[in-house]
Amino acid sequence: MSSGSHEDRLAELLDTIRSRGGRWPAGRVQRMRRRSGGPVQRGTARRDLAELARRGELIAHGPEDGRFYTLNTRKDGAR
């Protein structure tokens, strides 16, 4: 997979989270992508969510086996 398609996938996920809000565990990302024809593997969903959190766009909550993410609404990107 090229880096462009990876970035496009992350941008699409972030846009969806911004428009729908709420809690985003990997399963919700999988369901969203199943409807849109995107990659539905749990590992891909987890990595994408973690990457957006690393970039400061999302905030991770909960233990690793029950983790979900929410939109980081702070303008400065702080958590």
pLDDT of residue 12: 96
The pLDDT value given to residue 64: 87
pLDDT of residue 42: 95
CATH class of the domain at 3-71: mainly alpha
Q: Which residues contact 58 (CB under 8 A, 6 or more apart)?
A: 14, 17, 24, 49, 52, 69, 70, 71, 72
Q: State both tokens at 40.
A: 């539905």
Quick one: pLDDT band at residue 78, thresholds 50, 70, 90?
low
